[in-house]
């Protein structure tokens, strides 16, 4: 379970193997599991069987995790780009995104947690975004605009990709531009599928170079009537 992977280091003993005499091991041996991830070998003690129910604090943390994971998991390909530069040796981009948004984007009181969409980040980084950006909807078309001015200091490029994400909560569906526009385009019109019309939509945008070696922090462009 992904929740366990985020909390494992706090609740279980773990050892790292660096070219040990057992080499690259895997599998269960007694009370120990040997495994590897990204060329890092680990020895992990088996978790103890739970003999009593979860505490209220554990239930609260689990519910917070489930609330944000239901939103983030379907957009894993976007998170791999948006958080690709912030990954660590022991944490994948999706887990970095999970940790950040658990801390800042969940509202409400257990067990009735909700998401503050305006505080959700789908990318993080120091690359320049599109300056004055805006999103509008008319006639079933979402129009997104941004500044095309290039910056020599940050070495922005005309062919930088612009990643746009739209979420419709009532249908619990996401959509993006079929082909990401470029910074030089300055605008894009995206046709909204008919089954998503009539509800509200939330829009995010971020910028990345062609090789995703530079990424901007995402910007939330607001809640719009999809009409």
CA nearest to 221, candidates 161, 151, 142? 142
pLDDT band (50, 70, 90) for residue 27: low
Of residues 203 and 51, more confidence is placed in 203
Does the pLDDT of residue 45 top 80, yes or no?
no
Residue 21: strand, helix, or coil: coil
pLDDT band (50, 70, 90) for residue 198: very high
d(CA 208, CA 98): 20
The pLDDT score that the predictor gives to residue 88 is 77
What is the rounded average pLDDT of the residues 160-182?
A: 97
pLDDT band (50, 70, 90) for residue 11: very low
The pLDDT score that the predictor gives to residue 51 is 60
Of residues 69 and 17, more confidence is placed in 69
Strands 40-45 and 32-37: antiparallel
Does the pLDDT of residue 6 top 80, yes or no?
no
The pLDDT score that the predictor gives to residue 8 is 38
pLDDT in tens, 99-155: 999 999 999 999 999 999 999 999 999 999 999 999 999 999 999 999 999 999 999
d(CA 157, CA 150): 7
pLDDT band (50, 70, 90) for residue 12: very low
Strand order in the sheet with 219-225: 173-176, 161-168, 200-208, 219-225
The pLDDT score that the predictor gives to residue 38 is 58
Please report, rounded to a whole number, the percentage of residues in the chain having pLDDT higher than 70.
Answer: 77
């Amino acid at each position: 379970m992904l929740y366990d992977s985020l909390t494992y280091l706090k609740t279980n003993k773990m050892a790292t193997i660096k070219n040990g005499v057992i080499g690259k091991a895997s599998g269960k041996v007694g009370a120990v599991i040997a495994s590897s991830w990204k060329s890092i070998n680990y020895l992990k003690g088996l978790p103890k069987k739970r003999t009593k129910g979860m505490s209220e604090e554990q239930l609260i943390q689990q519910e917070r995790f489930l609330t944000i994971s239901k939103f983030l998991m379907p957009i894993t390909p976007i998170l791999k780009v948006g958080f690709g530069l912030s990954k660590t040796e022991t944490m994948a981009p999706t887990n970095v995104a999970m940790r950040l948004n658990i801390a800042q984007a969940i509202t409400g009181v257990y067990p009735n947690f909700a998401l503050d969409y305006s505080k959700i980040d789908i990318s993080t980084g120091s690359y320049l975004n599109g300056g004055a950006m805006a999103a509008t909807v008319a006639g079933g078309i979402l129009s997104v605009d941004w500044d095309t001015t290039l910056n020599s200091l940050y070495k922005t490029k005309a062919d930088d990709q612009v990643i746009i994400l739209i979420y419709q909560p009532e249908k619990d569906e996401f959509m993006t531009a079929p082909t990401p526009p470029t910074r030089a385009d300055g605008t894009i019109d995206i046709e909204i599928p008919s089954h998503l019309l009539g509800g509200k939509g939330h829009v995010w945008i971020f910028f990345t170079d062609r090789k995703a070696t530079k990424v901007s922090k995402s910007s939330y462009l607001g809640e719009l009537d999809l009409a």
